[in-house]
Amino acid sequence: MVLSKRIRTFVSHYNFRLYMPTIFILFGYIFKFYSDDHEPIHVHVIKDNKEAKYNVSPEVVQVFNHGFKKHEISIIEGVIEENVEVIVDRWKSFFDKENKYGEKA
């Protein structure tokens, strides 16, 4: 079967989007980002069909919460606060981004 370029592009993008590099797993919470993610640097936290998203740079801020209870949010935020450097390092090493001065991040 021959697929059109448009369909091949869609399928390629869809498969790429599904790939979520795992930063770490702690207390059953999976800390990830999408392989085609965007700035600001942020992390998705997933557990038991629940998800939250946090920007981590320049400061830790919750973007959304779908299903986590208050005590879970406290744990998640504590883990993120303690591991901001790890999250930022993993993000930068994965994306190998250039900063606004053209230098490698």
- pLDDT digits 0-9 by tens, 54-89: 999 889 999 999 999 999 999 999 999 999 999 999
Q: Report the C-alpha gap between 87 and 12 in whole angstroms.
A: 26
- pLDDT digits 0-9 by tens, 5-37: 554 444 444 444 457 889 999 999 999 998 888
Residues 6+ apart with CB under 8 A from 39: 97
- Which position has the token pair 């869609």? 10
CA dihedral in degrees (30, 36, 39, 44; nearest 10)?
-20
Token pair, residue 96, equals 């190998």
Alpha-helical runs (H) found in the chain: 5-18, 70-82, 84-95
96: left (phi over 0), alpha (psi -120 to 50) or beta: left
In the chain, where are the structural domains located? Answer: 20-95
pLDDT value, residue 37: 81
Counting every residue written for the chain, the total comes to: 105
